[in-house]
Amino acid sequence: MSTMNRFALFLASLVPAVGGLWMATEKFAALVAYDPAFLGSSLIIGGTHIYPPWAFVTWYFRYQRYVPELFSTVTPYSFGGFVLCLLMLFLFRPEKKLTSHGSAHWASYKDLVKMHLISGSGVVVGLYDNPSIKKCTAFLHWLESKKDEAASYGEMNFDKRLDEDRDRKEIQLSQMKRKIHQVKKGSPAYKKF
């Protein structure tokens, strides 16, 4: 994971923490009726008081011992935001590269670009430009197809010979069965069987 992606992940994980802190700030301000003597000045937009998110932290250290019940109702917002922040950092952390069996890995897009294996029409699997190499490759393909053809004909001939041999054995077996049926019980030929 690049440094930029890590930084973006860190910023994205801060959103729930800042959001929880801001919710706690606004909720606490509403509970004390936005008292400027108690909270200080705020930005008012359309009748809504807006305080900076970190104001909750300063209020907590300043007023917690005086109104602990108010803080106990709003603290879960900030705590929940921080828990969500940590959970996001844990779930979206970069994976460690396993190197216990070496550093071999499937090539990423960056690896393919670095090795100049990406062309305008896709991934380059085999590359040859020379006409003589093309002719040699075509000849090798032709030889390979002839070899495969010969192997398949050889298998067909072998199967044919097996069938002929099986037919011959079946004929011999049926002839022997006929001879056995022709031999009468009690004859000297019967005793041989």
Residue 110 counted as domain residue: no
pLDDT the model gives residue 128: 53
pLDDT the model gives residue 175: 86
Residue 19 counted as domain residue: yes
* Structure token pair of residue 119: 């062309």
- Does residue 85 contact residue 16 with C-beta atoms inside 8 Å? yes
Residue 121 counted as domain residue: no
Q: H helices of the chain, where?
A: 3-31, 36-39, 55-63, 68-91, 109-114, 131-182, 188-192
pLDDT tens per residue across all 193 residues of the chain: 567 777 888 888 888 888 999 999 889 888 888 887 778 777 778 878 888 888 888 888 888 888 888 888 888 888 999 899 889 888 887 777 777 777 777 777 778 778 777 766 566 565 555 677 667 767 777 777 777 777 777 777 778 888 888 888 899 888 888 877 777 666 666 666 5
- Does residue 123 contact residue 112 with C-beta atoms inside 8 Å? yes
Question: At 156, which amino acid appears?
Answer: M
Residue 107 counted as domain residue: no
* Structure token pair of residue 176: 């022997």
**Number of domain units in the chain:** 2
Q: Please indicate, yes or no, whether residues 77 and 151 belong to a single structural domain of this protein.
A: no
Helix (H) or strand (E) holding 118: strand 118-119
Residue 167 counted as domain residue: yes
pLDDT (tens digit per residue) in 118-142: 766 566 565 555 677 667 767 777 7
Q: Please indicate, yes or no, whether residues 69 and 10 belong to a single structural domain of this protein.
A: yes
Residue 8 counted as domain residue: yes
Domain that holds residue 141: 132-193
Q: Please indicate, yes or no, whether residues 8 and 81 belong to a single structural domain of this protein.
A: yes
Cα–Cα distance, 102 to 119 (Å, whole number): 29
Q: What pTM was computed for the model?
A: 0.47
Q: Which domain-ending residue is among 91, 120, 152?
A: 91
